[in-house]
Chain A
């Protein structure tokens, strides 16, 4: 009897969680006929991409700065792009590079930046991977562990901890996708720390 109760409870709980998760996804990913056409169930939909970008534009406007915002699906296909007036070529390019980095490493692009700053990774090696060692790119995730796309924000000067391209993206994701994990720490460059590491400032940890 206890076994039955346990099974029933477990089954019911699992089914409920499954249903709740499915409902969450449905809001953010391409569904219905549109997903049948592309045979894909985990791509960010345009409504979500636009909402995230607009939330980010609102944040930038509040800060009185300009940004460029690139949103890719999980395959790296562009879904939405928005360049605020007055953004130069480097601002546009870096927004794409940051989103691309988040796609490559399936983590915030700041992980790459921090590895380079702390001497744990070679910037050249990261460059060879196609990664841009700078913060401002974040994965867009549903159900806790399914990446449906990535956002890259470029173009504004950071004033951490109050403002940065990454904070812009993070606030937008919080608003549209729900509570996001905290941002990675802002680290001090190893070189600036004076190189007291004993091995010439290089840690020699393997680059991913």
Chain B
């Protein structure tokens, strides 16, 4: 009997796996295109474009401009959209934020907060990270990374608006409910503290 229960549990696991597979199929490259790449976990262009457009809609509602870069999980560009009127720095920061997410597999705000808490920004730069919010991982099935989005170009008006909020709302719309954003923290230097320099907490 106990064995039977175990078998049932296995069946339940398979059911869960099947529902996860269906979730993936919507967002990643499948079929001939996936066979061509020998790869099952790359964000597809339909998803990338939908996220990009959802973010553009959010920016338009706010009356601001953004640039949006979407990479696959290897860092290859999948989709890029520069709203009219975006200057060079806005374009580059979009890519830098997405790159930071790929490096850390976390929102780029994690690197920003590490610096705000007194971590070394130079160390982050050495890692190729841009310590600024606006980059978010694109994940499916709870823990499979399929790509990253970086949004740059608009001035933050926290907590109502930021490049990161733009990306987050777009992901919520297209990918389903996302994890809450990391907290907005006050820089350690501004807080005064021991000589204005952090305590040397190890940067990752």
Contact = CB atoms under 8 A, between A and B. Distances in A.
B65 A34 contact: yes
Contacts of A62: none
Contacts of B87: 37-38
A84 B45 contact: yes
Interface in A41-63: 45-46, 50
Contact of B77 (A66, A75, A92): A92
Contacts of B33: 66, 84-86
A86 B37 CA distance: 6
Query: Which among A82, A85, A87, A88 has the highest number of chain B CB atoms within 10 Å?
Result: A85
Contacts of B83: 34, 46
Contacts of B81: 46, 50, 80
B23 interface: no
Given A78-B80, A92-B77, A83 B45 contact: yes
A79 interface: yes
B84 interface: yes
Interface string A173-200: 0000000000000000000000000000
Contact of A37 (B45, B80, B85, B91): B85
B62 to A, nearest CB: 15
B85 A38 contact: yes
B145 interface: no
A35 interface: yes
Contacts, number: 67
Interface residues of B, number: 25
Interface residues of A, number: 25
Given A30-B85, A33-B85, A79-B82, A88 B77 contact: no
Contacts of B91: 77-78
Contact of B88 (A77, A87, A92): A77
B45 to A, nearest CB: 5
A50 B79 CA distance: 11
B82 A86 contact: no
A38 B84 CA distance: 9
A75 B82 CA distance: 14
A88 B36 contact: yes
Given A37-B87, A66-B33, A85 B44 contact: yes
B147 to A, nearest CB: 11
Contacts of A45: 84
A79 B80 CA distance: 7
Contacts of A84: 33, 45
Contacts of A33: 85
Nearest to B72: A83
Contacts of A88: 36-37
Query: Which among A45, A81, A84 has the highest number of chain B CB atoms within 10 Å?
Result: A81
B160 interface: no
Given A30-B85, A46-B82, A84-B45, 10 more contacts: A30-B84, A38-B85, A38-B86, A38-B87, A81-B80, A83-B77, A85-B45, A86-B37, A88-B36, A89-B74
The 3 closest A-B pairs by CB, nearest first: A86-B33, A34-B85, A81-B80
